[in-house]
Amino acid sequence: MKKKKTLVIGLGISGFAAAKFLLARGVPVVCVDSNDNETLRSRARILEEHGAQVQLGVSDPTGLSTEQVVVSPGVPSRILKSFIDKKIPVYGELEIGCREVTSPIIAVTGTNGKSTVVETINAGLNQAGKKSFALGNLGTPVTEWVDSKQEADYLTLEVSSYQLETIEKFHPSVAVVLNIAPDHLSWHGSMESYLKAKSRITQNQTIEDALLLHKDLSVYPILQKTRGRLYWFGRDLDPSRDGLSLAGDLLEWRGAGPHWKSQVKVDHLFPHEVENLLGAVSVLLLLGIEPDQAITLFEHPLRLPHRIEEVGVHRGVRYLNDSKSTNCHSAIAALKAVPTDSIWLVGGQGKGEDLSELAHIARDHEVRLA
């Protein structure tokens, strides 16, 4: 980035990484955060030692003087809009980090399943002898990885709608949209705006790149507008579409490379795991990984913590932790994965979603609430 005075808003993991990244390049940096605690004060001391100005407990930074802004995911949209209205460029950590990435990028977005699919793709690539790193919204910031000076065949990134709002040149070789359901609507303002943010994942792709969509997303034309090659994945995929389809236990690939079919066992998988694996395997196939190697992912699915995670059995009762279900779409998938007549401990803060479908699923699944 040009050495313009930069305001970094938010000193969480990504904001802290972005500030260090900019300071290392001689960019004058002012950092603010609405909170003030010992973790932030520790980060502030580190940044100040490297020349940054830091202000904590700042809830409204819109009056501060700056030439460009770097925001953390979840910073209120009104703050972004205030700077944009003043013609001040607003970026995210993802954008500034990826400008220095030379390895091909695989970017995964969607309402749910992103972390699992990113980690699955990353594992599959490394098992196939490629050097890949899983980065982005799930953990290590891109800017931090760039400054580690490591080499990679691929970077596999989890990308949120917040991050996609602030991209400009971000250019994935393979872009994946797993699913779409109402989420973060209080931030985006409407489902239309949420969809528009997700669609930005392909805005800089070319004919040399690939966009991969779940078959259920065919109802959203905005997601299909791409200059890249369009592929699909899902159960019983329309034969006219290129991509990966599963019919019963028959897996079939049509499109890039040779057409092939193979039997896979999926009885041991949760329904949503099958969909996630179809997406991950599709990416490996698009990258030229041998089919026999790619489909081994179905044998031992990667299960991350807090996602229908068994935490113990007490007096014959099996306890599952699904605390990562923070929206209806994810909670519905979890309910469909567990036996009927389960006891469901549920709570939390709503995001403006319609809860009626979740209520119907809980009733039909004979779930008992507690």
Residue 93 placed within a domain: no
Report the mean per-residue pLDDT for the chain: 90
**46 and 136 inside one domain:** no
- The domain in which residue 73 lies consists of 6-88
Residue 104 placed within a domain: yes
Question: In this structure, which amino acid lies at residue 166?
Answer: T
**360 and 264 inside one domain:** no
Give the pair of three-digit tokens for residue 114: 């992103």
**329 and 191 inside one domain:** no
Give the pair of three-digit tokens for residue 45: 């001391």
**31 and 104 inside one domain:** no
DSSP state of 194: H
Can you give the pLDDT at residue 188?
63
Can you give the pLDDT at residue 324?
67
Looking up residue 38, the CATH number of its domain turns out to be: 3.40.50.720
Q: Which domain-ending residue is among 271, 298, 325?
A: 298
Q: Which domain-ending residue is among 61, 88, 115?
A: 88
**185 and 166 inside one domain:** yes
pLDDT in tens, 129-188: 999 999 987 789 999 999 999 999 999 999 999 999 999 999 999 999 999 886 666 656
Residue 1 placed within a domain: no
Helix or strand run (H / E) with residue 71: strand 68-71
Which residues fall within 8 angstroms of residue 112, CB to CB, at 6 or more apart?
178, 179, 181, 272, 327, 329, 330, 333
Question: Helix/strand/coil (H, E, C) string of 259-321?
Answer: CEEEECCCCCCCHHHHHHHHHHHHHHHHCCCCHHHHHHHHCCCCCCCCCCEEEEEECCEEEEE
pTM: 0.86
Can you give the pLDDT at residue 336?
73
d(CA 308, CA 322): 5
Sign of CA dihedral 58, 62, 68, 70: positive
CB of 195 closer than 8 Å to CB of 181: no
**238 and 273 inside one domain:** yes
Candidates 307, 254, 303; CA nearest to 277 is: 303
Residue 160's SS3 state is: coil
**338 and 264 inside one domain:** no
**353 and 230 inside one domain:** no
**152 and 185 inside one domain:** yes
Residue 95 placed within a domain: no
Write out the chain's pLDDT in tens, 370 residues: 678 999 999 999 999 999 999 999 999 999 999 999 999 999 999 999 999 999 999 999 999 999 999 999 889 989 999 999 999 999 999 999 999 999 999 999 998 889 999 999 999 999 999 999 999 877 899 999 999 999 999 999 999 999 999 999 999 999 999 998 866 666 566 888 889 999 999 999 999 999 999 999 999 999 999 999 999 999 999 999 999 999 999 999 998 778 999 999 998 888 889 999 999 999 999 999 999 999 999 998 877 666 777 778 877 787 878 776 777 767 777 777 676 667 877 777 766 667 777 777 777 766 776 5
**337 and 270 inside one domain:** no
Looking up residue 119, the CATH number of its domain turns out to be: 3.40.1190.10
**62 and 125 inside one domain:** no
Q: Which domain-ending residue is among 62, 88, 114?
A: 88
Candidates 161, 231, 218, 230; CA nearest to 192 is: 161
Sheet order of strands, 6-9 included: 53-56, 29-33, 6-9, 68-71, 90-92
Number of domains in the chain: 3
**163 and 226 inside one domain:** yes
